[in-house]
C-alpha cells in the first residue's frame, strides 16, 4: 500500500512539473520557438484544428518562424488565427509560406513576462503541495483505519515530503532557466 501512495504522489507531481514546463514553452522570449504556436487553433474545414496539424512549423533562424501549410487554400485562415492570438505576432504571407518575424522584447515586456512566469511557477508549486496534502490525508486515513502502523505512516509522510521537495526544486530550476532566457538580450 505505501508504495502505491508514493507512486501516485510522484506521478501526479511529475505531471504538475510537465504541465508547468509546457505552459512555459508557449511564452515568447524574443527567440523563435515552434512551441510558441502550439496553442493556436485555426478555423478550417468546418471545425477548429491545431496549427501544427495543418502545416509544418519551423524556426530556420533565431528570430523567424516559417509556416508551410499543407493545403495552400488555408493560408488566409492560418494568418487570421495568428493575428487573433494573444501572442502579438504579425505574419507575412507570400503565397507559399507564412513568415513570422519574432521582434525583440522591450525591457518592460521582459519584466512582465518574468512576473507571469513566476505566477505560473507558484501555481505549479501549489499543485504539487495539493498532491502532497491529499496523499498525507490518505496516509492518515489508512493509519486511523489500522491499515498502516503509526511508525510506517510517519516514515511514509517524511518520504512524501522529500518527494515534494524534489519536485518543487525541479519547478525552481525550470523557473530560473526560463527567467534567464527571457532576460537574455
Q: Are 105 and 89 in contact (CB under 8 A)?
A: no
Q: How far apart are CA 87 and CA 30, in angstroms?
A: 11
At 1, the pLDDT band (50, 70, 90 cuts) reads low
Q: According to the model, what pLDDT value does residue 185 have? A: 59
At 11, the pLDDT band (50, 70, 90 cuts) reads very high
Q: Which of 100, 104, 105 is nearest to 59 (CA)?
A: 100
Look-up of cell digits 495543418: 54
> Considering just the CA atoms, what is the radius of gyration of the chain in Å?
22
Per-residue pLDDT tens over the stretch 105-133: 788 888 888 998 999 999 999 999 999 99
What average pLDDT does this structure show over 74-93? 87
* Helix boundaries (H) for the chain: 2-25, 75-84, 107-145, 150-183
CATH of domain 34-101: 3.30.1360.40
User: What's the CATH architecture for 2-25+106-183?
Assistant: Orthogonal Bundle (1.10)
Q: According to the model, what pLDDT value does residue 31 have? A: 74
Q: According to the model, what pLDDT value does residue 36 have? A: 82
Q: According to the model, what pLDDT value does residue 120 have? A: 93
What is the CB-side half-sphere exposure of residue 175 using CA atoms within 13 A?
19
Per-residue pLDDT tens over the stretch 26-60: 787 767 778 888 888 999 888 999 988 899 999 88
Q: Where do the domains of the chain lie?
A: 2-25+106-183, 34-101
Per-residue pLDDT tens over the stretch 142-175: 999 988 898 988 999 999 999 999 999 999 999 9
Amino acid at each position: 500500500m505505501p508504495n502505491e501512495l508514493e507512486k501516485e504522489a510522484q506521478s501526479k507531481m511529475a505531471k504538475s512539473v510537465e504541465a508547468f514546463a509546457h505552459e512555459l514553452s508557449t511564452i515568447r522570449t524574443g527567440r523563435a520557438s515552434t512551441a510558441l504556436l502550439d496553442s493556436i487553433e485555426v478555423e478550417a474545414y468546418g471545425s477548429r484544428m491545431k496549427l501544427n496539424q495543418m502545416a509544418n512549423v519551423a524556426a530556420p533562424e533565431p528570430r523567424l518562424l516559417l509556416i508551410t501549410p499543407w493545403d495552400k487554400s488555408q493560408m488566409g485562415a492560418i494568418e487570421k488565427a495568428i493575428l487573433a492570438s494573444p501572442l502579438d505576432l504579425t505574419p507575412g504571407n507570400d503565397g507559399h509560406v507564412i513568415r513570422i518575424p519574432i521582434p525583440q522584447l522591450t525591457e518592460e515586456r521582459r519584466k512582465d513576462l518574468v512576473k507571469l512566469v513566476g505566477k505560473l511557477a507558484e501555481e505549479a508549486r501549489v499543485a504539487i503541495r495539493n498532491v502532497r496534502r491529499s496523499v498525507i490525508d490518505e496516509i492518515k486515513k489508512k493509519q486511523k483505519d489500522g491499515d498502516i502502523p503509526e511508525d510506517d505512516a510517519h516514515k511514509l509522510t517524511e518520504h512524501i515530503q522529500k518527494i515534494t521537495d524534489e519536485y518543487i526544486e525541479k519547478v525552481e530550476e525550470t523557473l530560473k532557466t526560463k527567467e534567464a532566457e527571457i532576460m537574455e538580450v
